[in-house]
Amino acid sequence: MAALTFYICYIGARPINRSWMQPQEHILLKDFTTFRIGGPARYFVAVKNTEELREAIQFAHSKQLPIFVLGGGSNVLISDKGFPGLVIKIEIKGIEYKEREGEDVEVIVGAGENWDDAVGHIVSRGLSGLENLSLIPGSVGAAPVQNIGAYGAEVKDTISWVEVFNTETYTLEQCSKEQCQFDYRDSIFKKPEGKKYVITRVGFKLSKKPNVNITYKDISNYISEHKVEDLSIQKIRDIVIEIRTKKLPNLKEYGTAGSFFKNPVVLKEQYDELVKKYSGLPGFTGASHGDVKIPAAWILDTLCNFKGYRDGDAGVYKNQALVLVNFGSATAEDISSLSEKMIACVKEKTSITLEKEVQIIF
Ligand code: EPU
């Protein structure tokens, strides 16, 4: 009976050339993740607009299926058993530019745009604010979820609002920057109260003024070593791309999700105690409440010797100890047990419990 009702609504409400595709079944998720890991999705559908998204949500609700929203698949580790519900891949595209007061331009980008393609497009228009976030894998819709950050910038600094589809009320809503509750690699979209939202578009406030940000050590070192004089935002983008290419694995060659762990933030007193024990331990103040952010990569590299470590096909990248790599046929379990080994070493040496940055779907 339920199926019949659904069918009648469908005929009545939709134009004949509607684009809604029935979900496919048993689709291997490893083909959609940069780790190249993940078993089958019971159902899988790609949506190109909010109407298709609405239908996908209706489909999942009618079958009482859990929903998992996939962007670029670059920050997830999905179980080898797969996902028992509906995986919705967001393919909502488009970039819109709107002149605002003075030097400001509002740029509205569809959640399904590739992040770096969008950054390249925006930088080529001479708008500044996103250039330090060049070459980060993933989609535009995933960027606010974990408040992506790199080379002295965080995406929250340029976001004005995030448009979401509320899966409880079936309405489109706009979350202000404050409502997004951005923090270091965190936002409302990672918390239980934000799970009802699916991000559809992101609004950025960018500037025609080339406000270059060269505070991060890797960038300032590059500029002095290469005696760079022309500091255009395109040049900053080129520099970031060069640095990232040297430090981080090439996704065409290796399966990876970038930093696997967050950098821990500790109390100043705890940091001072640790420095007495490990004199070279770096620490960055400026984290909230005067706490200190410690590069987990330093601990994993210097104290735990994990750089270049391998357990079969699960390993740690040779140039960055925070980055786990699938060298071929590693399973989610292999990556997970390697990560637990790394957590245990850091705990033993420093009493710090590392938190995973990558979203784990087990
Ligand atoms: N370091 C080591 N050994 C290593 C790597 C780094 O000792 O193998 C030390 C160095 O002292 C270095 C410091 O750690 O100065 C920081 O390293 P890096 O600049 O590479 O940054 P990170 O803190 O390890 C963070 C982000 C990266 C981002 C870089 C650059 C997190 C979890 N990760 O890494 O983001 O690209 O800064 O800004 O905050 C990602 O999220 O996937 C990601 C790659």
Residues in the chain: 362
- Domain-embedded: residue 18: no
Cβ–Cβ under 8 Å, residues 164 and 198 = yes
Ligand 1 centre to CA of 357 (Å) is: 13
Q: Within a domain: residue 223? A: no
What is the pLDDT at residue 198? 98
Residue 83 domain flag? yes
- What residues are in contact with ligand 1 under a 6 Å CB criterion? 150-151, 218, 247, 258-259, 262-263, 282, 295, 297-298, 301-302, 307, 320-322, 357
Residue 142 within a domain: yes
Nearest to 127 by CA among 105, 94, 101: 105
Number of domains present in the structure of the chain: 3
Q: Are 55 and 99 in a shared domain?
A: no
Q: Are residues 28 and 78 in the same domain?
A: yes
Q: Are 108 and 202 in contact (CB under 8 A)?
A: yes
A 10 A CB-CB count for 179 gives 15
Q: Which domain holds residue 158?
A: 95-207
- Same domain as 180, residue 116: yes
Q: What is the pLDDT of residue 286?
A: 72
Residue 250 lies in a domain: no
Residue 100 falls in the annotated catalytic set:
no
Annotated catalytic, 259? yes
**Tokens 């509750």, residue?**
181
* Domain of residue 57, CATH code: 3.30.43.10
The pLDDT of residue 18: 52
Q: Which amino acid is at 269?
A: E
Residue 90 near residue 165 (C-beta atoms within 8 A): no
99/76 same-domain check: no
Which residue matches tokens 């890991």?
A: 37
Which of 90, 112, 142 is at the close of a domain?
Answer: 90
What is the Cα–Cα distance from 126 to 271, expressed in whole angstroms?
41
Among 215, 259, 261, which residue has the most ligand 1 atoms within 8 Å of its CB, making it the best to mutate? Answer: 259
Residue 246: burial class (beta carbons within 10 Å; 0-12, 13-18, 19+): exposed
Q: Is 357 designated active site?
A: yes
Residue 21 has a pLDDT of: 76
**Rg of the chain's alpha carbons, rounded to an integer?**
22
User: CA neighbours within 13 Å on the CB side: how many for 30?
Assistant: 14
Residue having the nearest C-alpha atom to atom 20 of ligand 1:
320
Mutate to test the pocket of ligand 1, among 279, 322, 339 (most ligand atoms within 8 A of CB): 322
Q: One of 113, 131, 154, 357 is an active-site residue; which one?
A: 357
| Same domain (yes/no): 133, 186 | yes
- CATH number for the domain including 200? 3.30.465.10
- Exactly one of 36, 185, 237, 244 is catalytic; name it: 185
Ranges of the chain whose pLDDT falls below 50: 1-17
Shared-domain flag, residues 269 and 324: yes
pLDDT of residue 12: 29
Is 349 among the domain residues?
A: yes
148 and 48 within one domain: no
Give the pTM. 0.93
Cα-to-centroid distance, 281 and ligand 1 (Å): 14
Residue 300 C-alpha to ligand 1 middle, in angstroms? Answer: 11
Q: Domain end: 67, 90, 113, which one?
A: 90
Regarding whether 346 and 267 lie in a shared domain, the answer is yes
Cα angle 259, 161, 173; round to 5: 110
Name the residue among 229, 197, 203, 185 with its Cα closest to residue 130.
Answer: 203
Residue 89: Cβ within 10 Å count: 22
Model pLDDT, residue 332: 98
Nearest CA to ligand 1 atom 23: 295
Do 134 and 99 share a structural domain? yes
Same domain, 77 and 131: no
Question: Measured from the CA of 148, which atom of ligand 1 is nearest?
Answer: 41
Q: What is the CATH number of the domain that holds 323?
A: 3.90.78.10
Query: Which of 145-149's residues contact partners 24+ apart within 8 Å by CB, and which partners?
Result: 145/71, 145/187, 145/189, 145/190, 145/199, 146/75, 146/185, 146/186, 146/187, 146/190, 146/357, 146/359, 147/182, 147/183, 147/184, 147/185, 147/186, 147/187, 148/115, 149/184, 149/185
**Cα–ligand 1 centroid distance for 287 (angstroms):** 15
Please check whether residue 229 lies inside any domain of the structure: no
Give yes or no for a contact between 212 and 191, defined as CB atoms under 8 angstroms apart: no
Q: Report the largest interatomic distance among the alpha carbons of the chain, rounded to a whole angstrom.
A: 72
Question: What pLDDT sits at residue 334?
Answer: 98
| 242 in a structural domain | no
Tell the residue number behind the tokens 């900053």, with chain if given: 236
Mind listing the pLDDT tens digit for each residue in 250-307? 999 999 999 999 999 999 999 999 999 999 999 999 756 679 999 999 999 999 999 9
Residues 194 and 100 in one domain: yes
Pair (150, 85) in one structural domain: no
74, 90, 106: which is the final residue of a domain? 90
pLDDT at 161 (0 to 100): 98
